[in-house]
Amino acid sequence: MPLVPSSDAPTIPLRLLEPEGLPRWLEGQEPHVAAWVAAMGFEAGLGEVLALPGPDGSLAGALLGWGTAGKRARDRFHLAAGAAHLPAGRYALDAAGLEIDAGLEALGWLLGEYRFTRYRAAQASRIRELVCPEGVDAARVQRAAEAAALAQDLINTPARDLGPEALEAAFADLGRAHGAEVRVVRGMAALREGGFPLIAAVGAAAAEAPRLLDMVWGREGAPRVTLVGKGVCFDTGGLNIKPGASMGLMKKDMGGAATVLGLAQMIMAAGLDLRLRVLVPAVENSISGPAMRPGDILRSRKGVSVEVNNTDAEGRLVLADALALADEEAPGLIVSLATLTGAARVAMGPDVPPFFTDDEALAADLAAAAVRVADPLWRLPFWAPYEGLIEPGIADLDNAPSGGMAGAITAGLFLRRFVERAGSYLHADIYGWTPQAKPARPKGAAFQAARAIFEILETRA
């Protein structure tokens, strides 16, 4: 991995400089260095990179512009932005005189090195290693980067190679690696007999059998936390079929499951003192004879009836049965993560997932953690006056209220109906995708909300 412990091996100095600090730095340099910087027009703008040649023409160091505080506030992971333009080598960070979060910037360096290469021929790549800055917990940074890579690999994989069966295999591999107990309820008959009729209904039309994946890890008497991730491996929309433009990214509709697995890996690898349970309903929302139909009324595990007014609002259905199961043992906290609504993206864009909770202390802690670890989240309300929108009259609940307003909130309210006994409930409506490459975030799958949630779980362990 590109983050390495301190060593006596030769390193390349990487100096961070703000524009106002550049003249002072140049005063202490050899004349040829000052001449080179001037000739190349380096002004220490944010993300600006300049390699420094030695007297023999070798790479003697590099400068990375740190810009102004106002510009830095517009984005995150600025070290990663510059690192992408550096020559190969092992770098030692020099940020003397600057206030930086070295751990966060080191993480950004690692996140920026992620590549999804499963489907292309091996290509020579420039390996840029960073010596772990002093005072940074390298193992912690590494765990976060590895968890992100696990989730990103799963989300980036096309549905042909990552259906419910392959998602189950990844789930089981993670459980085995950490000594967790893994149980699977697989197939229509087993799901119906086991009390998961909504999961069965959503997955009924697919070639691969729907299933519920269940993992338990940790000390029996430890605080109980249950993670629930939406595992819709591909979403055609069902009989309310999506147009082609909307279906193009539906391989990422299991992004909630992938993110939950990444978060679970962080928890288990760190050895948090939690009784962790992970639930993933793994299905495909396909079209064939047994597909659920608009107007169908389904009975949930909880006994609540649901009118299916849009088969493309399937994520909340599979999550409902999983949440009802999670709630039965009354854990201290249930967390659901899902690529659930387009409404969340319209309101917040791809970078900022909304989260919902009635627990004020949890909301405050999560909002602070999101800022601290540069994993953006923003709270939206479980707005009780909208409860009537999800009550169709003919059944207890409507999976797709008409009108199109407050779609992220009504989806959250729907899910909340299935959690009554847990100490707290937290739901995040993630996007799971980076449309255009950004510092530390290559175009493609995105690992959202998990690092911020890990921060609050760590304090509860």
CA distance linking residue 74 with residue 172, whole number of Å:
40
From the candidates 140, 192, 242, 460, give the one annotated as an active-site residue: 242
CB 142 within 8 A of CB 110: yes
What are 447's two structure tokens? 């690992």
- The helix/strand/coil state of 361 is helix
CB 456 within 8 A of CB 379: no
Question: How far does CA 348 lie from the centroid of its chain?
Answer: 16
Which residues share a beta bridge with 284?
234
Closest CA to 448 of 232, 282, 225, 262: 262
List % helix, strand, coil for the chain (3-state, nearest 5). Answer: 40, 20, 40
Can you tell me which residue has the tokens 């090195």? 113
Q: Give residues with Cβ within 8 angstroms of 384, minimum separation 6.
A: none
CB 109 within 8 A of CB 75: no
- Residue 167 burial by CB count (10 A; 0-12/13-18/19+): exposed, middle or buried? buried
Q: H/E/C letters for each residue in 367-433? A: HHHHHHCCCCCEECCCCHHHHHHHCCCCCCEECCCCCCCCHHHHHHHHHHCCCCCCCEEEEEECCCE
Does residue 443 carry a catalytic annotation?
no
Q: Give residues with Cβ within 8 angstroms of 273, minimum separation 6.
A: 218, 219, 222, 223, 461
Does residue 299 carry a catalytic annotation?
no
Question: Looking only at Cα atoms, what is the longest distance across the chain?
Answer: 82
From the candidates 143, 186, 224, 316, give the one annotated as an active-site residue: 316
Q: Which helix (H) or strand (E) holds 244?
A: helix 244-247
Q: What is the dihedral angle through the alpha carbons of 410, 412, 418, 424, rounded to the nearest 10 degrees?
A: -140
| Eight-class DSSP state of 350 | T
CA distance linking residue 35 with residue 363, whole number of Å:
53
Question: What residues are annotated to the active site?
Answer: 242, 316
